[in-house]
């Protein structure tokens, strides 16, 4: 069962077979170098696009439940080295890349959070999430 999920759903082997059959119908032999490369290119473009759509949807869904205000509220409760650890852990679990981590960092500093805590968040967020 696990092999089926890994190969057919996550690996999209069915898509590779479908593209091979479609190329054969068109008259392109996938056994040749050019045909095999064309099959691989079409398969990879479709697979990566679908995976990106799914990941963007899931991250957007998680972001809707974990807004920056909630992060700011959580980080405001801690002080000292514990605050740095919480800032780094919060940066690890929040689904933000560097393009949105910098505005959140600016919001944290304008909210009066200690600079060390905000830097812990800033450094860990894009390193883990992107």
Q: Which residue, among 24, 52, 53, has the nearest Cα to 38 in the 3D structure?
A: 24
Whether this model's pTM surpasses 0.75: no
pLDDT given at position 43 = 92
Regions of the chain short of the pLDDT cut 50: none
Q: How many domains does the chain have?
A: 2
Distance from C-alpha of 70 to C-alpha of 3, rounded to nearest angstrom:
39
CB-CB contact of 77 with 117 (8 Å)? no
Q: Which of 46, 62, 78 is the last residue of a domain?
A: 62
Could you give the percent of the chain with pLDDT greater than 70? 76
What range does the domain containing 84 cover?
A: 66-129
Same domain, 54 and 81: no
Q: Which residue, among 49, 43, 48, 51, has the nearest Cα to 23 in the 3D structure?
A: 43
pLDDT given at position 24 = 92
pLDDT given at position 22 = 93
């Amino acid at each position: 069962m696990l092999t089926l999920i890994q190969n057919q759903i996550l690996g999209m082997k069915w898509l590779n077979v479908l593209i091979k059959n479609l190329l054969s119908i068109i008259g392109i032999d996938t056994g040749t170098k050019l045909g095999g490369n064309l099959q691989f290119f079409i398969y990879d473009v479709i697979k990566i696009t679908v995976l990106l759509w799914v990941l963007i949807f899931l991250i957007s869904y998680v972001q809707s439940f974990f807004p920056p205000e909630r992060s700011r509220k959580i980080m405001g409760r801690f002080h000292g080295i514990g605050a740095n650890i919480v800032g780094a852990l919060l940066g690890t679990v929040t689904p933000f890349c560097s393009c949105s981590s910098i505005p959140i960092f600016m919001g944290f500093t304008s909210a009066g959070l200690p600079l060390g805590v905000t830097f812990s968040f800033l450094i860990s967020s894009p390193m883990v999430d992107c």
